[in-house]
Amino acid sequence: GIQVEQSPPDLILQEGANSTLRCNFSDSVNNLQWFHQNPWGQLINLFYIPSGTKQNGRLSATTVATERYSLLYISSSQTTDSGVYFCAVESPSRNNNDMRFGAGTRLTVKP
């Protein structure tokens, strides 16, 4: 099945810093989403971005489907950005409609 790799696995930032999280995937995808799991375990959908670039406040994401990667940018990070960021992809396999998750990037933003 499709493989999803996220980097870095852990990231520690000072408040106000910028960061880039990367997601590589091994095959073409129908769907790619970025999620933030906050320290309370809640899973929040950030972007649905199978291709192109989207922005939402301090967050933006770019997916280059032809090169099989996606980037999540966090600017002016805040302590509330802490948590685990997951990339999930859905392959266009006929019998497989599930999302495959990467292992996540654990972000800690220090005040």
Partner 1 sequence: NAGVMQNPRHLVRRRGQEARLRCSPMKGHSHVYWYRQLPEEGLKFMVYLQKENIIDESGMPKERFSAEFPKEGPSILRIQQVVRGDSAAYFCASSPSLEYGYTFGSGTRLTVV
**Site residues (CB under 8 A) for partner 1?**
30-31, 33, 35, 41-45, 48, 86, 88, 95-104
Q: Would you say 17 or 27 has its CB closer to partner 1?
A: 27
Shortest distance in whole angstroms from residue 51 CB to partner 1 = 13
Shortest reach from residue 76's CB to partner 1, in Å: 26
Q: Which is nearer to partner 1, 42 or 53 (CB)?
A: 42
Nearest approach, Cβ of 48 to partner 1 (angstroms)?
3
State how far the Cα of 35 lies from the Cα of 38, in Å rounded to an integer. Answer: 10
Cβ-based nearer residue to partner 1, 4 or 74: 4
Alpha-carbon span 57 to 40, nearest angstrom: 22
- How far apart are CB 96 and partner 1 at their closest, in Å? 6
Q: Rank residues 16 and 92 by Cβ distance to partner 1 and give the closer one.
A: 92
Collapsing DSSP states into helix, strand and coil, what is residue 26?
coil
Exposure string over 62-90, b if 16+ CB within 10 A, otherwise e: bbebeebbbbbebeebeeebbbbbbbbbb
Residues in the chain: 111
Nearest to 37, CA basis, from 109, 105, 110: 105
